[in-house]
Structure formats: structure tokens, C-alpha cells
Amino acid sequence: MAVRGHRFDPTILREYDIRGVVGRSLTPSDALALGRTLGTIAAAGSGRVAVVGYDGRMSSTVLEEELCRGIASCGLYVLRIGLVPTPCLYFTARMLRAELGVMVTGSHNPPEYNGFKMVVGGKPFYGDDIKRLRDLAGRGVWARAEGGVVEVDAMSAYMARVALDYTSKRALRVGWDAGNGAAGPAALGIARRLKGEHLLLNETVDGSFPNHHPDPTVPANLEQLRTLVLEEKLDLGVAFDGDGDRIGVIDDEGEILWGDQLLAILAREVLKTRPGAPVLADVKASQVLFDEIERLGGKPVMCPTGHSIIKSMMAMHQAPLAGEMSGHIFLADHYLGYDDALYAAVRLINLVAESRQKLSDMRKALPQVVNTPEVRIDVPEERKFDIVREVKERLAAAGAEVNDIDGVRVRTEDGWWLLRASNTQNALVARCEALDEAGLVQLKRAVAEQLAASGVTGNSIGMLAA
């Protein structure tokens, strides 16, 4: 009798992870098949230990149980570390040199979503790896051997390690907003280990996210923290996404520090002891950041967007610091080189305490530019990469200065603009940055003209052309 394989809904197999709507595109049977498939891949490696954690979503425990069952059926010993932020999963897998690490998480997506982030052999599992996983699951040729499952505590060691790098003798007053996500218990435990006064918001895990959605890239989601910082006159505030690998920051004046600004500030500290070191940032980051890294004596490296890609490139360049506009901050300086928002928060708090300078002053010391947020333009899935290719060809014919590492990033006398295809949605992403408003108008107009030339219309185009 032929072995029956498993077919995943193709929409859940993303570039960097697996993610879908529970009960519609993602089911417990997917979790079981994923466990069997990852277990088969891991069983071919040098280890027999797997680490599995899950976030606070309503569906996470069911998916985690089936995932563990599938992994153990391949002969691996599964260490269940329970409800933890994703960086705790990365930390535990690294410390135990586990062959496989899997986090059940929907990250910053709405409550009905869930998914999986994966590490195999100590490296991110993404891109072609996920395509290979799809094909292996479809064939259904899974390893079969007796394994086991055991529950272990990983949070205590993780929190102690993260808090270890607060070295300042100065105490600050800090606000923390976990957004009712999986970072809540860890934020509480870490804050208790630090000097100073720490005020926590939404630290209780609740997968319905009753207070605001846990996505710190959306200004509205930071409003509660901003109010706390201003009313209590705090030194700064930090916020986390649903699984604790992305950070948002509010300074003492209630202003948001975006991912590239935060990276520029952290680079000051890192490059003091690592002169000439490469610092990586994604293609959406401000030119101010790349110029600042160079001014500080570092080597700026522009990368494609995507946390898995950046982790891989960080290892390749042996970079001590990297980051994305989305709030993924990666520190290999005194740490382990993956995206950990809680650790980034501790390093930032320590930096502010040691500098005896307000965070708002650090922000204002950076060159001031004007820019757009990320503008998402819905397009048919089958057209998004073709549109970017068409734009690139027109720009090449016109002799424009283009960086095509991820989409097209175009430099002009007014500043720069970016157009890239989203890896996770049927959309294009545009961003523009200039030294003044007049220049920004010219850049937005250039993007709108290119989109129109490829037949793209709609409200988003009007926003760019305005």
C-alpha cells in the first residue's frame, strides 16, 4: 500500500516561516505533518534533541501538542519549554545545541492566525528549505523511530542571561508594554532583575489581545505606552510584538524611535569596541543609518528584507549588529546573534543609563529627514514580481542609480525611493525619503509614475502622487 503524504495549503508556506488562519488554511493535521517532516530532516543530522515552544494564542497549545507528537515519532527527544517568547526558543536551542527548534507562533498577525518559526542545525530554516519541506511532506516518506517528550523550564535561564548585560549602576524609570503577547512573563521577570523603577502594561498573556494589537510598527499600538511615558515622566518605554522578537521604542518626549534610528543609536556603543565592524540593515532603512554607521567607523551593509536572510548574512559577514525597519534587532556583540527584542531593550536601557544623555537627545542628534511610512499597494500575486522587474528595466534604460538587492532602491538628487514585492502578501511596498518636503513630493511622484506605467492604479497610488 502506497504511503499517503500530506499537502499543505500553499498559502501558508511563506518565505521565512509557516503561517495561516487556524481552521481554514492551517489545522492540527498540518502541525502533525510538519512535526513528522521536520523530524525526518533533523533525524538525518547529527543530533537527536528538539526544542519546542509556543506563544499565547488560543490555538497554540493544540498545534504544539500535534507538532511534538510528529517530531517524537521520528526518534527525536522533544523538550517542551511551554509558553515563551520566540527568543527564548532560540536561546534554548542554541544552548543545548539542539538539532531542531520550532516555535508555534502567529507573531504580530491577528488572533485568528498562527504558524511556526524553525531552526534546523543551528541555522534559520527558510526559502528553499521550506520548499523542500513541502515536497518531502507530499511524498510522505517519514522517519519512524521511538522518541520521547519531556517538559522543561527554559525561561529562568533565559531571563537571567538577558538581564546579565544590564551593567550600569544608574537606575532609570522605564515603561514596558508586552501587548498581552508571549513576551509578558519574560518582560516581568527581566524587569524585576534590573535596577530602577519599571512600570508594566499588558503583561498578562491573552491571545485575544484585548488592549491593542501587538505590532509595535503601528503607531496606534504604541499610544498606550506613549501616554504612560509622558504621564509618569519616564526615561523611555519599550514595546514588543506577539512573540517578543520585534521591539518598539518611545523616548522621554513621547516620540517613536523606528528600527533604523534604534540601530543607529546601538551602533554607537557597538562600534566603540568593534571599530571597522560591519553593521547590517535592510533595504527599507534610512540613508541616515548607513551614513551614520560609516561616520562611526563601521562598514554599512544593505540587505534584503527578512529576519531569516539577515541572520544568515550576519553570520556570513561576522557582523556584531544588524536590524530591520520592522523592529527586528540582532546583536552578536556579547550575545548570540538572533532577533531578541527583550535583549535589545536591556541593551538600550543600559546604553541610556551609561550615557547620561536623554534618549530624545540621541534621536535629535541624528540628521533630520522627511519620509513616508511603508505604503502597501495591493496587486495580484502573480504580477508583483513582474511589476518590480518592469520598473527595474525602465530605470536601467534611463541610466538611474539603482540598488536591486531587494526590489529597486533608487537614489536621486532629492533622496531615495524604494519599491519591492512583499514576500508575505499580494502587495508591493513603497517608501520614500528626502531632505525636505519638496524633495519628498518629487520622489513620491516618481514612484507613482513607475507604478502607473505598469498598469497599477488605486488609492495607494493617489497617496504617493499627492
Instruction: Just list the catalytic residues.
Output: 107
Instruction: List the grid coordinates of 57.
Output: 494564542
- Do 61 and 80 touch, CB atoms closer than 8 A? no
The DSSP secondary-structure symbol of 300 reads: E
Spatial distance between the Cα atoms of 31 and 77, rounded to a whole number of angstroms: 17
Cell of 341: 527584542
What is the pairing mode between strands 427-434 and 415-421? Answer: antiparallel
Q: Which helix (H) or strand (E) holds 337?
A: none
Tell me the C-alpha distance between 211 and 225, whole Å: 11
E strands, 129-172, are: 148-151
Surface-to-core class of residue 163, CB atoms within 10 Å of its CB (0-12 exposed, 13-18 middle, 19+ buried): middle
Neighbours of 151 (CB within 10 A): 9
Residue 30 exposed, middle or buried by CB count within 10 Å (0-12, 13-18, 19+):
buried
Measured between alpha carbons, how far is residue 229 from residues 183, 198, 200 in Å?
20, 11, 11
Count CB neighbours of 2 within 10 A.
Answer: 5
**Helix (H) / strand (E) containing 301:** strand 299-303
140: left (phi over 0), alpha (psi -120 to 50) or beta: left
Q: Residue 74: what residue type?
A: C
Q: What is the DSSP letter of 274?
A: S
C-beta neighbour count of 144 within 10 angstroms: 12
* Dihedral sign, Cα of residue 216, residue 257, residue 329, residue 14: positive
Alpha helices (H) in 194-239, listed in sequence order = 223-231
